[in-house]
């Protein structure tokens, strides 16, 4: 049996289900999977460049990257990023080819999750709460899907302005006084903040009307049904969960690692065992 030698780098990733997802998907292809988790929370002197060089010397096929290193990973790879990574400014998967290549499977995963839920339907007018790395990947995906307008706000307004500038003219920063009007006219609402997580309770849209929109997506997946998504479903909106994104992101990542010509979406249900308990 041949196998994959891969890993995950990030801070406080002890609860990550990504390694388990890679093991499950490897079994579907009769592959072994040597997965190394590198949690940097206890490494104050961690150096991403040196870590990547060591993983490559050790013969790893590649490595996935999570918070807070996605932007640094893209910068280190430079010209060998995909066009999407250049636009997003962040990478969450590196392949140690010659030269190394950088990808963003948050972007790829959302495209796949959207098409599974809504086929060729366009997103329409979208309002996003939060302007961090996830929001950047989502903006790139929404533009690819043909979104009409994308409005973004953040608790730090300068971050929303920076995101809007990076994706101008498709994305616009949304001042506080315009949030209600934008939400009322939106087709879709997205939470790209930590609000709704078990450790960060809340609902980024609690102060805004949720009723006339068509769909909602929450990047949080622990719990799967956040207060935001529960409120959206209660009003009849179609929803995509953060766990939906996780599953599709994992499938897209595995396809890159295994060198598959197409992501093996037929194995999505195999990842249901990883559904968070809360």
- By annotation, the residues acting in catalysis are 70
- The whole-angstrom separation of Cα 32 and Cα 26 is 6
- The whole-angstrom separation of Cα 104 and Cα 90 is 7
- The whole-angstrom separation of Cα 163 and Cα 88 is 9
Q: Is 137 helix (H, G, I), strand (E, B) or coil?
A: helix
Which among 95, 97, 104 has a CA at the least distance from the CA of 62? 95
Strands 62-65 and 3-10: parallel
- The whole-angstrom separation of Cα 221 and Cα 219 is 6
- The whole-angstrom separation of Cα 54 and Cα 51 is 5
Copy the structure tokens of residue 196.
């709704």
Which residues 6+ apart lie within 8 Å of 95 measured at CB? 61, 62, 101, 103, 256, 257
Copy the structure tokens of residue 21.
């997802």
| Phi, psi for 243 (deg, rounded to 5) | -70, -30
Strands 101-103 and 215-218: unpaired
């Amino acid at each position: 049996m041949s196998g994959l030698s891969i890993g995950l780098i990030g801070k406080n990733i002890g609860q990550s289900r990504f390694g388990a997802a890679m093991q499950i998907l490897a079994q579907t292809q009769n592959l072994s999977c040597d997965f190394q988790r590198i949690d940097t929370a206890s490494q104050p002197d961690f150096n991403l460049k040196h870590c990547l060089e060591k993983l490559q010397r050790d013969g790893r096929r590649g490595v996935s990257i999570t918070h807070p290193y996605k932007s640094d990973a893209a910068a280190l790879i430079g010209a060998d990023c995909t066009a999407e990574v250049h636009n997003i400014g962040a990478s969450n998967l590196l392949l140690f080819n010659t030269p190394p290549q950088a990808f963003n499977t948050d972007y790829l995963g959302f495209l796949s999750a959207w098409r599974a839920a809504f086929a060729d339907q366009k997103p329409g007018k979208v309002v996003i709460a939060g302007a961090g790395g996830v929001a950047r990947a989502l903006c790139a995906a929404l533009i690819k899907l043909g979104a009409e307008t994308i409005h973004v706000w953040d608790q730090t307004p300068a971050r929303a302005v920076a995101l809007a500038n990076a994706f101008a003219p498709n994305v616009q920063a949304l001042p506080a006084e315009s949030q209600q009007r934008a939400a009322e006219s939106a087709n879709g609402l997205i939470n790209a903040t930590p609000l709704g997580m078990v450790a960060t309770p809340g609902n980024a849209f609690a102060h805004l009307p949720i009723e006339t929109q068509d769909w909602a997506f929450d990047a949080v997946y622990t719990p799967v049904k956040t207060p935001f998504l529960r409120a959206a479903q209660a009003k009849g909106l179609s929803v995509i969960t953060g766990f939906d994104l996780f599953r599709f992101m994992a499938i897209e990542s595995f396809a890159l690692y295994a060198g598959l010509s197409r992501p093996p979406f037929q194995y999505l249900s195999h990842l249901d065992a990883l559904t968070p308990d809360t």
